[in-house]
Amino acid sequence: MNSNVLQTPIVYLKGVGPNRAETLQSELGIHTYQDLINLFPNRYIDKTQYYKIGELQRTSSDIQIVGKIVNIKTVEQKKGKRLVAKFIDDTGEMELVWFRGQKWIRENLKLNIPYVIFGKVNWFNGTFSMPHPEMELWEDHEKGLKIYMQPVYPSTEKLANKGITNRVTNKLIQQLFLETKGRFKETLSPGLISELSLISKAEALFNIHFPKNQELLAKAQFRLKFEELFYIQLQLISKNLMHKQKIKGYNFDKVGTLFKTFYEQHLPFELTNAQKRVIKEIRADLGSNAQMNRLLQGDVGSGKTIVALMTMLLAIDNGFQACLMAPTEILANQHFMGIKDLLGNIGVNTALLTGSVKKSARKLIHEQLENGELHILIGTHALLEDKVAYNNLGLAIVDEQHRFGVAQRAKLWHKNDIPPHILVMTATPIPRTLAMSLYGDLDISTIDELPPGRKPIKTVHRYDSNRLKVFQFIRDEIKKGRQVYVVYPLIQESEALDYKDLMDGYESIARDFPMPDYQISIVHGKMKPADKDYEMERFVKGETQIMVATTVIEVGVNVPNASVMIIESAERFGLSQLHQLRGRVGRGADQSFCILMTGHKLSLDSKTRLETMVGTNDGFQIAEVDLKLRGPGDLMGTQQSGVLNLKIADIIKDNDILKTARYHALKILREDISLQKHPVILHAYTQLVKYKNIWNYIS
């Protein structure tokens, strides 16, 4: 098809005109012929079946029946009147009902002649009825072009009010096929079409709008879904491969003394197989001459820190500095202490830089960073300041990357002549399928195994009315020497209210757990960093048994002796947040518990969230449920990325098609990155890059 024809403004299509064109544009974003072809039906109504009145069910689907009208009457009702026709076949009788257009209908309906009627069936007062049925004489129905599967297009109230009903949309698309003769150019290569037994583009477009039967519809859907996902993957993967070709990276070709000494003498435990695997993946990147851009995902407690540390040692062994950025002071602090502890006297200079580091100390850090004395810098956003300049930064690690924006990550790129290698870590696991679409331009490593010997955390749901029992349980656990977290939600919009909840909660706990038998820490966002640290310290050292906190403790904090996590108003937390919070316990050898406290009134979604938490400890499974509850649009990063504005494929349901698409995109690009041997794909790809729209390439 000549591309100009498909770019024709929709106003020129017969049957559209200026008014409808404006409505189509504003309501459905349809500007051109091409946009209209790509308006895919939401669902289809099966017209291959004819029902008998005697076998009607009380469901609400649209159905088709053959029968005759035997009489018509007007029935007065409170407001206006309705027209009622008695409709029969050889198995029973039902009513057809009209509230509008009664005069016209009455004059035109024929009695005792077979009709095919179509519509939704209602059940009322022991009779089936069909309001405003679509009707056609059986004779005409037999003669005419049969539409077997009627497409139902996306609609809005405004469209309907302006007379652009489903029928009209359907007619317009028919007209479009007439004008273009349905000759659409192929957009996938002959190789892919034969390998996957795909139907042609033209056939797919015809059958998506006017499917002849279920089988052809399925083929059309498969072909178009595949195509959509294939081109998205092609874009992401080619970006990634180009990046590797273009962005030179420092080559860490040595596995030096530090790495070896640490591995042999300082490692406090055996690495899990998953940890070993991801370290291997990272090492391959670092020695490839290209800049590493890798996402390391692993459930809470899966041991990402040690992987980060060993990667940093590789950098230092090769004469570079490394930095590790964390989203909160508490976490940066803990990383700093933990890493210093692990390194012992191995001879690596490490410093901590956060907002609360004093000016003089800060100056010293800046100096040592620039003259190369410092090997590792750990800190918060403070690391991003322009004043922080390195002698030779070779690796930047970002922990809990979802807390940082893309722009912040990019800032790290400019901290050396050639961009340093980047490793971002997250404990908010993204289902793999989604990660593939979201972060196709990042490489992904996954730690899918917890260190051995962890007892699964026992999770229960308790109502506020059972608080006394819960308190008794806390007392028992503390008696055994354990420590307890009590967490309150803090959601920005209602901060003042939440803060009051927290303080009320704290007071009530202080009453039930009085000094001197019990010591309580409290940490929340309004405290000065120094006070927070002090309280946190006391809890870490075991001087306090209870930590009352807001979600500031959500990220990363590690207190192995804490074995009970109480989450107040648990219904107000999202699933991934609940899972993160729960991950604060279960870090030691003792049996750990997570108690989700709620009121009695719970929404359906809240119930699902609580049941999921009680039912599983697996972060990936939880992420899948989260995705289903919230939809991908709400997940972090998806909005900006725009890759999820899919027209026909469904990122969750069409998981297997996504995998196939990714496999083929990768295979093609690996062999032929410039797509010279795939002219059809190259053409489509060039179009979609040019128009920034995946569906703008049929031409």
309 contributes a contact to ligand ADP by CB under 6 A: no
> Applying CB under 5 A, which part among 479-487, 522-530, 549-557, 662-670 lies near Mg ion?
549-557
**How far apart are the C-alpha atoms of 398 and 312, rounded to whole Å?**
12
Select 305 or 328, whichever has its Cβ closest to ligand ADP: 305
Dihedral, CA atoms, 25, 31, 35, 41, nearest 10 degrees?
20
Residues contacting ligand ADP: total by CB under 6 A:
16
Q: Checking DSSP bridges between strand 458-463 and strand 350-353, what pairing results, if any?
A: unpaired
Q: Which is nearer to Mg ion, 121 or 430 (CB)?
A: 430
> Residue with CB nearest ligand ADP?
303
Strands (E) across 316-428 are located at: 321-325, 350-353, 376-379, 393-398, 421-426
Q: Which two tokens stand for residue 88?
A: 């029969």
Where does residue 68 rank: exposed (0-12), middle (13-18), buried (19+ CB within 10 A)?
A: middle
**For residues 254 and 276, which CB has a smaller minimum distance to ligand ADP in the complex?**
276
Least Å distance, CB 451 to ligand ADP, is 3
Beta bridge partners of 398: 325, 424
Q: What is the CA radius of gyration of the chain?
A: 32
Which is closer to Mg ion, CB of 403 or CB of 461? 403
Burial class (CB in 10 A: 0-12, 13-18, 19+), 589: exposed
Contact pattern from residue 449 through residue 468 relative to ligand ADP, giving x for each residue in contact according to CB under 6 A and a dash for the rest: --x-----------------
Q: Which of 225, 572, 579, 587 forms a contact with ligand ADP (CB under 6 A)?
A: 587
**Beta bridge pairs of residue 137:** 115
Work out whether 576 is an interface residue with ligand ADP (CB under 6 A).
no
What count of other Cβ atoms lies within 10 Å of the Cβ of residue 72? 16
- Write phi, then psi, for 405 (nearest 5 degrees): -85, 165
d(CA 99, CA 81): 7
Provide, rounded to whole angstroms, the least separation between the CB of residue 596 and Mg ion: 23
582 contacts ligand ADP (rule: CB under 6 A): no
* Piece of the chain touching ligand ADP by CB under 6 A; list 18-26, 299-307, 411-419, 663-671: 299-307
Question: Distance between alpha carbon 165 and the CA centroid of its chain, in Å?
Answer: 33
In the complex, minimum distance from the CB of residue 275 to ligand ADP, in angstroms, rounded to a whole number: 6
- Of 298, 303, 419, 556, which lies in the binding site for Mg ion, with binding defined by CB under 5 A? 556
Helix or strand holding residue 472 (H, E): helix 467-479
Is residue 420 at the binding interface for Mg ion, with CB under 5 A as the rule? Answer: no
* Shortest Å distance, C-beta 583 to ligand ADP: 6
305 forms part of the interface with ligand ADP (CB under 6 A) = yes
Told to check if 297 binds ligand ADP by CB under 6 A, we report no
The reply on whether position 558 binds ligand ADP by CB under 6 A is yes
Side-chain half-sphere of 441: how many Cα atoms within 13 Å?
10
Instruction: Report the DSSP pairing between strands 115-120 and 62-76.
Output: antiparallel
Which among 27-35, 45-53, 101-109, 295-303 is the span making contact with ligand ADP, rule CB under 6 A? 295-303
Smallest gap from Cβ 267 to ligand ADP, in A, equals 9
- Among residues 67, 119, 133, 301, which is the contact residue for ligand ADP, using CB under 6 A? 301
Examine residue 151 and tell whether it contacts ligand ADP (CB under 6 A).
no
Tell me which of 53, 306, 398, 643 binds ligand ADP, using CB under 6 A: 306
Tokens standing for residue 664: 């083929």
Cβ closest to ligand ADP, residue 271 vs residue 602: 271
- Which residues fall within 8 angstroms of residue 267, CB to CB, at 6 or more apart? 306
Question: What's the Cα-to-Cα distance from 593 to each of 162, 269, 457, 471, rounded to whole Å?
Answer: 59, 25, 5, 13
In degrees and rounded to multiples of 5, residue 100 shows phi and psi of -125, 160
**Cβ closest to ligand ADP, residue 338 vs residue 525:** 338
Helix 201-209 × helix 214-246 angle, to 10°: 130
Q: Which residues of 604-621 are buried (b: 16+ CB within 10 A; e: fewer)?
A: eebebbbebbeeebebee
Angle between helices 619-630 and 575-582 (to 10 degrees): 160
Residues 410-429 close enough to bind ligand ADP by CB under 6 A: 427
Q: Which is nearer to Mg ion, 450 or 694 (CB)?
A: 450
275 contacts which partner out of ligand ADP, Mg ion, none, CB within 5 to 8 A by kind?
ligand ADP
By beta-carbon proximity to ligand ADP, the closer residue of 129 and 580 is: 580
Sole window of 117-125, 307-315, 553-561, 619-627 interacting with Mg ion (rule: CB under 5 A): 553-561
Kindly report the CA angle at 257 between 254 and 258, in degrees rounded to 5? 100
Residue 155 C-alpha from the chain's centroid: 26
Give the single-character DSSP code of 264.
I
Find the part of the chain contacting Mg ion (CB under 5 A) among 265-273, 534-542, 554-562, 623-631. 554-562
Task: Provide, rounded to whole angstroms, the least separation between the CB of residue 305 and Mg ion.
Answer: 5
Kindly state the smallest distance separating residue 334's Cβ from Mg ion, in Å. 9
Length of the chain: 699
Report if residue 446 touches ligand ADP, rule: CB under 6 A.
no
**Alpha-helix residue ranges (DSSP H) falling in 71-213:** 102-108, 138-143, 157-161, 166-180, 190-195, 201-209
The option from ligand ADP, Mg ion, none interacting with 170 (CB < 5 to 8 A, set by class) reads none
Per the DSSP assignment, residues forming a β-bridge with 564 are 484, 593
Residue 300 binds: one of ligand ADP, Mg ion, none (C-beta under 5 to 8 A by kind): ligand ADP
- Residue 188 near ligand ADP by CB under 6 A: no
Tell me the torsion sign for CA atoms 198, 202, 208, 214: negative
Cβ pair 321, 305 in contact under 8 A: no
Stretch that binds ligand ADP, among 156-164, 194-202, 270-278, 594-602 (CB under 6 A): 270-278
End-to-end CA distance of the chain: 6
Report if residue 327 touches ligand ADP, rule: CB under 6 A: no
Q: What is the identity of the amino acid at 546?
A: I
Stretch that binds ligand ADP, among 202-210, 264-272, 488-496, 571-579 (CB under 6 A): 264-272
304 binds ligand ADP (CB under 6 A): yes
| The entry of ligand ADP, Mg ion, none that residue 431 binds, CB within 5 to 8 Å by partner kind | none
Q: Per rule CB under 6 A, is residue 269 in the interface with ligand ADP?
A: yes
Q: Does 303 bind ligand ADP (CB under 6 A)?
A: yes
- Binds 301: which of ligand ADP, Mg ion, none (CB < 5-8 Å by kind): ligand ADP
* Strands 520-523 and 546-549, bridge-based pairing: parallel
State the residue number with the nearest CB to Mg ion. Answer: 556
**Does position 272 bind ligand ADP by CB under 6 A?**
yes
Which entry of ligand ADP, Mg ion, none binds 381, CB below 5 to 8 A by partner kind? none
Cα separation, 685 vs 368, in Å, equals 49
> Which residues bind to ligand ADP, rule: CB under 6 A?
269, 271-272, 275, 298, 300-306, 427, 451, 558, 587
> Which residues bind to Mg ion, rule: CB under 5 A?
556
